A and B are shown apart, each in its own frame.
Chain A
C-alpha cells in the first residue's frame, strides 16, 4: 500500500473511532432510555463488557441474594 493511502486510512480509522464515540455520547445525552441506563451503569459501577459471571461483582452478589431469598423460611 502506498504511503499516502496508509496515512489516509490511518486518519480515517482514528476519525471513525472519534465519530463513534461522539455518536454514542450524543445518543446518551438525547435519548432518555440510554441516559437512564448509562446513569445506572455508572452509579452502580457495572461493567457491561464483562464476559463471564466471575468478571462481574454484581453478578456474584446477585446469585447469593437469590439463594438467600429462596432459602429464607416463609
Chain B
C-alpha cells in the first residue's frame, strides 16, 4: 500500500463525511420526503416555505447523527458554566469523540502514522476544543460574536505558554489536516446557483468590489507598507475583503501561510467584526440611509455572516435580507479565491527569480486539497440545480449541508485549538512588528467601506432601481 499525503488524506476524509451525509440525509429519506412533497404540492394554496418549516425530512439515523454532532457542544450559559453541560452532552460527546477517533485512526494508517500516539493527544485537543465551545456559548460573548475560533486559539496559547505542552500531545496537533478537511466540507456549502439571488446589483457589490479591494490591499501591503511576509499580507487582505475567518482559513491553506499568520488574521477579523457589528448600523441609522443601501453596505463590508445578520436585523427586515444575501454571494467567492491564490502562489510567488515554471511543476506544488474543495462545490452545485428546488432545500440545504457545516465547525475548532497549542507567544508577537497588520486591515477596510457604499448606491439606486423597489 502506498503512503498518502496530508492533502489526499483531507480529501478522502472530507469526501467520506460528505458521502455519509448524502446517504443519511438524502438517499435514506428521499422516497418518503418526495411522496410527502408530491401530496402537499398537489393541494391548492401550497406554500413551499411553510411546507419546509413543517415537514420532517430526517430519518431516525439522520436525527441521531445530527444530535451527536450538535449536542457534543455545550449549551448556552449565563453565569454558571456547569449549566452548559446537560446529561445529553455527555451521552453525545463521548460517542462523537469515539467516531472522530475511529476516522482519524483509519486516516493515520493510510498516512503511515502511529495512530495510538495521535489518539492519546487527540483526546486532549478535543477536550480543549469543547472548552473553547463552552466559552463561546457564554451569552455575553455569544451576543458580541466572540466565537469558538478566538477562544480555541486563546486557550491553546494559554496552555502551551504557561504550562508547556506535554510531548504526547504533539502528534495530534495536525492543524493543517483539520483545516484542509474542513475546507473540503466547506466546498460542498458553496453553491454557485445562489450567485444570482439578488440579481446583478449583488454581483457588482460582492463580486466586483471584493476582488478590487483584495488586490488593492495586497498591493498596498507589498508596495507601501512593505510587509515582510506575502502570505500574511494576502491572508489579511482576503479575510478583510471576502468573508473573515473562513476566507482567512482558505487563503492561508492555499498559500501555505504560517499558523501564526493565520492566527493574526483571525484575531484582527474577530475584533473588527465585533466592533463593526455595533458601529456600522448605528452610523447607518444616524445618516438616515435607506434600508436597502444600508443592508448592502453591511453585507459587503462586515466579515462574518452572523455579524452581518445581527447588524442587518438592527436596521429592519429588508436590510437583514439584503445584507445576508450580499454576504452569501460574497461567501461563494471563497472557492474562486482559494483556487486563484493557489495558482498565483505556485506559479509566481514560490518560483525562483528568472526561472520559468512549467505546468508539471505547478501541478506538483499545487495544494491538492483545493481540488477537493472545488470538486465538492461542483458536485453539490450540480446536484442542487438538478433537483426540484424545494426538495433540494429540504434534503440538501437542511440535511446534508447542515450536517457538513456542523462537522466543519468541529474541524475548524480542532484546527484552531491545535494552532494555539503549538504557537509560542514570541512567534505571535513578531507578526505585529511595527503594527503593519493592523494598519493593513484598517486601510483595506476603509477602502472596502468606501467602494462598497459607492457601488451599492450606484447599483441599487441608479442602475437597477426596479430591483430596489421590489425589495
**B145 and A49 within 8 A (CB):** yes
Q: Does A4 contact B (CB under 8 A)?
A: no
CB B274 to nearest CB in A, in angstroms, measures: 8
**A37 and B314 within 8 A (CB):** yes
**A55 and B306 within 8 A (CB):** yes
Q: Does B452 contact A (CB under 8 A)?
A: no
Residues on the B chain within 8 Å of A15, using CB: none
> Interface residues of B: mostly helix, strand, loop or mixed?
helix
Within 8 A of B (CB), among A28-61: 28, 33-34, 36-38, 40-42, 44, 46-56, 58-60
Q: Does B27 contact A (CB under 8 A)?
A: no
Residues on the B chain within 8 Å of A56, using CB: 305-306, 309, 324
- A41-B310, A48-B304, A55-B305 known; A66+B197 contact, CB < 8 A: yes
The interface size of chain B toward A, counting residues with CB under 8 Å, comes to 62
Residues on the B chain within 8 Å of A47, using CB: 142, 306
- A28-B140, A64-B49 known; A51+B147 contact, CB < 8 A: yes
- What sequence of 0s and 1s flags, for each residue 188-209 of chain B, a beta carbon within 8 Å of any chain A beta carbon? 0100001001110000000000
**B324 and A62 within 8 A (CB):** yes
In the complex, A34 Cα to B282 Cα: how many Å? 10
- What sequence of 0s and 1s flags, for each residue 143-171 of chain B, a beta carbon within 8 Å of any chain A beta carbon? 11111110000000010001110000000
- A33-B282, A53-B305 known; A69+B471 contact, CB < 8 A: yes
Within 8 A of A (CB), among B19-39: none
- A50-B309, A69-B470, A70-B199 known; A24+B324 contact, CB < 8 A: no
Looking at B59-67, B221-229, B243-251, B252-260, the stretch in contact with chain A turns out to be B243-251
**B278 and A49 within 8 A (CB):** no
The interface size of chain A toward B, counting residues with CB under 8 Å, comes to 44
Q: Does B467 contact A (CB under 8 A)?
A: yes
**A48 and B277 within 8 A (CB):** yes
Q: Does B7 contact A (CB under 8 A)?
A: no
**A58 and B320 within 8 A (CB):** yes
Within 8 A of A (CB), among B373-425: 393, 397, 401-402, 405, 409, 412
Q: Does B325 contact A (CB under 8 A)?
A: yes
In the complex, A25 Cα to B143 Cα: how many Å? 10
Q: Does B128 contact A (CB under 8 A)?
A: no
24 contacts between A and B (CB under 8 A): A17-B135, A34-B278, A37-B277, A38-B143, A40-B310, A42-B143, A46-B306, A48-B274, A49-B146, A50-B304, A50-B309, A51-B147, A51-B244, A52-B243, A52-B305, A55-B305, A59-B328, A62-B312, A62-B323, A63-B194, A65-B321, A66-B198, A70-B467, A74-B470
Report B's interface with A, CB cutoff 8 A. 49, 135-136, 138, 140-149, 158, 162-164, 186, 189, 194, 197-199, 243-246, 274, 277-278, 281-282, 304-310, 312-314, 320-325, 327-328, 331, 393, 397, 401-402, 405, 409, 412, 467, 470-471
A-B interface, 8 closest residue pairs, ranked by CB to CB distance from nearest = A49-B147, A50-B306, A48-B145, A62-B324, A59-B324, A53-B328, A62-B321, A48-B310
Report A's interface with B, CB cutoff 8 A. 1, 6, 9-10, 13, 17, 20-21, 24-25, 28, 33-34, 36-38, 40-42, 44, 46-56, 58-60, 62-67, 69-70, 72, 74
Given contacts A59-B327, A66-B471, 16 further A-B contacts (CB under 8 A): A33-B282, A34-B278, A37-B277, A37-B281, A46-B310, A47-B142, A49-B147, A51-B306, A52-B405, A53-B189, A54-B405, A59-B309, A62-B323, A63-B321, A67-B198, A70-B470
